[in-house]
Amino acid sequence: MDKFIIEGGGRLAGEVEISGSKNAALPIMAAMILTSGKNKIRGVPQVRDVTTMLYLLKDLGGCTEEFNDGCIVFDSAGINNYEAPYDLVSKMRASCLVLGPLLARLGKAKVSLPGGCAIGARPLDLHIRGLEEMGAKIRLEQGYIYGEVKRLLGIRYYFDTVSVTGTANLMMAATLADGETVLENVAKEPEVVFLANVLNQCGAKIKGHGTDLLTIRGVQSLKPINCDILPDRIETGTYMIASAITSGDVKIINCIPQQVEALTMKLRQAGLVVEENETSLRVVGDGQLNGVNIKTQPHPGFATDLQAQFMALMALAQGQSIIIETVFENRFMHAAELKRMGADVTIQGQTAVVNGVKELSGAPLMATDLRASASLVLAALAAKGKSVISRIYHIDRGYSCIEKKLCSLGAKIYREK
Ligand code: EPU
C-alpha cells in the first residue's frame, strides 16, 4: 500500500489548477445508463472512484471507447445487465447511483447494499422508498437490493433528510417515468444542479434545480450526454486551506468561487486574505490565525466534505473553535490522528472543541476516509518534522494528482510505493 512522506514546515506558494469534480462526474456517468448511444464527458478527474464507476458501467454492458486526458467516450447502447455486484459497490458507495437509472431503462436492478462506512451508517432508505412509491417492487435479499417495475410512475415525494445522491437517483429515474414527479426538500448542491442541466440538454424536462423543489416531467428517451464536468469545489476548498495552514500565498485557478463562499467567509473571519475573481481565488496568510466556529450543513452551508480539513487549520489557530458536524454522525475520525500530532481536540457527540496550539509535530498517521486523509496531509504540511501517512488509497479515490500539485506549490511530499 502506498504511503505519503511529508516534510512539514514550508510555506506553499504559486498557482494550482483545479480538476473536474468527482461528485459531479459520478452521477453524470450513472446518467449515461439513461441514454443509448455515444456519450462524451470531458474534464473528468483522474481519481479511483471514476475508474470504479467506469468498470461498473462496462459490467452493465456499455463500452468505453476512449478514456484518457480527462475525456470519456462511452457507448451506452449495449447496456443490458442490471446487476451492480458487491465487489464494485463496496469500493464506492456512489455506485448506488445506478439504481434509479437501471430501473428507468431496464425495469430491473440488482444492486449490492453498500454496507457501513467510516463516516456513518449512510442508509439508502430514502432512495428505496422513493423508487417504491414510483411503482418499483423492491426487496432486500442476501445483501442486495432487487428492484422490478414495468414503467416508473411520476410521484410527489418528500425527502425527510436532504440527500445528495438520493435527489440525483430519483431525479434520474423520474426523467424517463410516466407523468410528472415533484420532489420536495431536495439537495441544492452544485453537482445536483449540474446534473439537472446536463439531463435537460439531453431532452429531460426538469425545473426548479437549485431550489428545494424539483419538478420533472417524464420523457420517452434521452439523447446521449455531451458535457464538460464542472470544477471540484471540495478540491478548491482543500487547496484554499492548504494555503491558509502554511501561511502561504496560493492562487487557485479553474474554480467557481461562489461555490465555496461559506469557506471563504470563515477563512476571512480567521484572519486570511481571500481574493475572488471570476474563475480563480487567491488565499494569503501571514501567520496570524484566529479560531472560528463552523457548523456543517447541506449546500449552501459549510460543506461536510471540508470539515476535516478545516479542523486541521483550527488546530493551529489562536483561541478556541467549535466545530459542529450535522450531516454525518461519525465524521471526526481525523481528530484522533490530529491529536497524535499535538492538536488539542475534544469530541462530544457531534461537536468538536478545538483549542489552538502553537505547533503540530510530524508523526506516523493513518488515513481513514477520503476527506480525513486530506486533513492529515494539510496538518502534516504545516507540522514540524516528518509525517508518514499510510492507507492513502483513500485520498486517491478523490484527489487528482495531489502530490504533484502540492509539489508544484513547494511542498515536500513524496509517495512511497
Ligand atoms: N441519508 C439517509 N437516508 C438516505 C440517504 C441519506 O438517512 O437514504 C442521510 C445520510 O446518512 C446522511 C445525510 O442523509 O446523514 C446526507 O447524506 P447524503 O445522502 O446527502 O450523502 P451522499 O449522497 O451519500 C454525497 C457525497 C458525499 C458528501 C455528501 C454530503 C457523492 C458521491 N457523495 O454523499 O461526498 O459528503 O453528499 O454533502 O456525491 C466525499 O466526496 O468525500 C463524500 C463523502
Same domain, 186 and 72: yes
Residue 51 is placed in which grid cell? 475508474
Is residue 202 very low, low, confident or very high in pLDDT (cuts 50, 70, 90)?
very high
Could you tell me if the CB of 232 is within 6 A of ligand 1? no
Q: What confidence tens digit (pLDDT) does each residue in 204-233 have?
A: 999 999 999 999 999 999 999 999 999 999
Same structural domain, 255 and 272: yes
Say if residue 153 is in the same domain as residue 139.
Answer: yes
Domain end (from 207, 228, 249): 228
Verify that 186 and 268 share a domain, yes or no: no
Q: Could you tell me if 121 and 12 lie in one domain?
A: no
> Are 198 and 245 found together in one domain?
no
- For 3-9, what is the mean pLDDT? 97
What does the pLDDT read at residue 215?
A: 98
Regarding whether 255 and 218 lie in a shared domain, the answer is no
Mean pLDDT of 67-80: 96
- The domain boundary residue, chosen from 179, 212, 228: 228
State which of 117, 132, 165 you would mutate to test the pocket of ligand 1, scoring each by most atoms of that ligand within 8 A of its C-beta: 165
Q: Are residues 194 and 59 located together in one domain of the fold?
A: yes
Which protein residue has the closest C-alpha to ligand 1 atom 29? 164
Mutate to test the pocket of ligand 1, among 326, 327, 402 (most ligand atoms within 8 A of CB): 327
With a pLDDT cut of 70, the percent of the chain lying above it is 100
Q: What is the CATH number of the domain that holds 406?
A: 3.65.10.10
Do residues 11 and 60 both lie within one domain?
A: no
Q: Among residues 195, 228, 261, which one ends one of the domains? A: 228
Q: E strands along 71-143, which residues?
A: 71-75, 83-84, 108-112, 137-141
Average pLDDT over residues 349-360: 97
Indicate if 264 and 174 belong to the same structural domain: no
Give yes or no: residues 245 and 191 share one domain: no
Range of the domain at 139: 22-228
Nearest CA to 170 among 143, 152, 148, 151? Answer: 152
All three cell numbers of 318, joined, read 489562536
Q: Work out the percent of the chain whose per-residue pLDDT is above 90.
A: 94
Strand ranges of the sheet holding 83-84, from the earlier edge strand across to the other edge: 83-84, 108-112, 144-148, 137-141
Which residues are known to be catalytic? 117
Beta bridge partner(s), residue 318? 290
Q: What is the pLDDT of residues 23-45, one digit of tens each?
A: 999 999 999 999 999 999 999 99
**pLDDT at residue 117 above 80?**
no
Our count of domains for the chain comes to 2
Q: Are residue 192 and residue 302 in the same domain, yes or no?
A: no
C-alpha 89 to ligand 1 mean position (Å): 15
CA of 119 to the centre of ligand 1 (A): 10
Contact between 56 and 33 under an 8 Å Cβ cutoff? The reply is no
Give the number of other CB atoms < 10 A from CB of residue 168: 30
Mean pLDDT of the chain: 96
- Whole-number Å distance, alpha carbon 164 to ligand 1 midpoint, is 6
Band the pLDDT of 116: cuts 50, 70, 90: low
The Cα 234–Cα 98 span in angstroms is 23
pLDDT score at 118: 82
- Of 67-71, 145-149, 258-262, 281-285, the poorest mean pLDDT is in 67-71
Q: Give the DSSP H/E element, type plus range, for residue 29.
A: helix 22-31
